[in-house]
Amino acid sequence: MKPLGLLLVLFSLTSTGFSISCKSCWHMQGFPCHGLSFPCSSDQVCVASYNLVTTVTSESPKYTLSCGSRSQCNLNGSLTFNHGKVRTGTSCCDIDNCTPPSPTLPPVSSQKNGLTCPACFSETSDYCYTSDKVECTGDEIKCGLMARRLSGTVTKNDSLRGCATRSYCEIFGNQTTTIQELNVDSKMFCSDGAVDLHVGLLGSIFAILLTKLLF
């Protein structure tokens, strides 16, 4: 093969990306977990996620492993609501059926940062609102509402509202994953706390519509 032809073939391979297979599983007692292997989409990697929900009376760990985007790799963050805190850490690897390193959770901070957010939790709805408030600490510099819809082996909606890190607003709270026939669709809506969250969302929608009408 001529050098030019070889170069074109290599360019074609690199531009279209490549795909690997990852195990898909979850475990409620920590890590690791074991599951069947599934092919990932192009350029995805194997992503391990460790979540720890802490309340006054309990701790609930959950470890998941599945295909995911590189933007989810090696991050951590937290979301604090009126009954507890959710901390998340991720890690990745990019070889067929590999096991990523153990994810690292963010430290718990008691240093208040001056932000106060509405806080609530619902096990039955993807929206919640109460008059409860929570004082934010550390890197939790956003007020956030996370809405989840689960379908497949389990069907339910739930929601959390409170103080959130940027990683929850931008990555952890906005994901769609499928793990062992369970589909989890999460959406995160965040504000800087200057106005109530739903007012801020309506304002953003109005601004987008006005821009389209004008231009």
Express as a percent the part of the chain with pLDDT over 90. 59
Average pLDDT over all residues of the chain: 82
pTM of structure: 0.77
Q: Kindly state which CATH superfamily the domain 19-214 is placed in.
A: CD59 (2.10.60.10)
Q: Give 35-89 as a DSSP string.
A: -EEEEPPTT-EEEEEEEEEEESS-EEEEEEEEEE-GGGTT-EEEEEETTEEEEEE
pLDDT in tens, 110-141: 999 999 999 999 999 999 988 999 999 999 99
pLDDT in tens, 145-173: 999 898 888 788 999 999 999 999 999 88
Tell me the three state secondary structure of residue 17. Answer: coil
Which has more pLDDT, 4 or 153? Answer: 153
CA dist., res. 211 & res. 74, Å (int) = 37
Checking DSSP bridges between strand 36-39 and strand 112-118, what pairing results, if any? unpaired
Compute the average pLDDT of residues 178-185. Answer: 79
Q: Where are the domains of the chain?
A: 19-214
